[in-house]
Amino acid sequence: EIKPNLSTTHYNLGNLYREKRDLNLAIQSYKKAIEITPNFAEAQNNLGICFQEIGDFKNSIASFNLALKINPKYFEVYKNLGDVFQSMGNKELGLQNYEKAIENKIVNADIYLNLGKLYQEKNNNEKAIKNFRNAIKSRKNCFEAYSNLGLCLHRKGEINSAIDNYIIALKINPESSEV
């Protein structure tokens, strides 16, 4: 007889191993949790994150897709898919998955920041600015958002606003060489 808490214990152990950066043990723990409870979407998601962190993008995407198949309303997975596609250099699929996360009300400064950067690379300043501002709303001390917002505003010719954002970025992180 399967004891329901056993899969949760393996999942929690995987979380601790991941936190310690022992990704191989984390992967083993998540796989064991999934073996015990095959419809454990959170374990699939975290397994996908571990695979991404070791550069196994194929298994990462497969794990994320399984998590969505198990729980189609597990919208946080779209952020993770966006991250893996962006890591692979597939910026279009990264963009699409970040947009799906936002459409489904996943509010996360990192999603907005990544969207902003992707739109900035596509020279879509308006969408980049919107996303950097949303990142700042989500995380007030988001150095990268202020710095990138300053760059976009500078490109638009809004010099005073650009200066204001660069100054805020420098106050947040005075040691940075990125501003």
- pTM across the whole model: 0.77
Whole-angstrom distance, CA of residue 50 vs CA of residue 38:
18
pLDDT of residue 35: 94
The predicted model gives 44-58 an average pLDDT of 97
Which of the four pLDDT bands, split at 50, 70 and 90, describes residue 103? confident
Read off the pLDDT of residues 120-171 as tens digits, 9 standing for 90 and up: 988 999 999 999 999 999 889 999 999 999 999 999 999 999 999 999 999 9
Closest by CA to 32, choosing from 52, 53, 17, 54, is 17
**Helix, strand, or coil here: 43?**
helix
**Across all residues in the chain, what is the average pLDDT?**
91
In angstroms, the CA 40 to CA 48 distance is 13
pLDDT at 176 over 90: no
Q: List pLDDT tens digits, range 6-44.
A: 889 999 999 999 999 999 999 999 999 999 999 999 999
Burial grade of 132 (CB within 10 A; 0-12, 13-18, 19 or more): buried
Backbone region of residue 56 per phi and psi (left: phi > 0; alpha: psi in -120 to 50; beta: other values): beta
Mean pLDDT of 95-108: 85
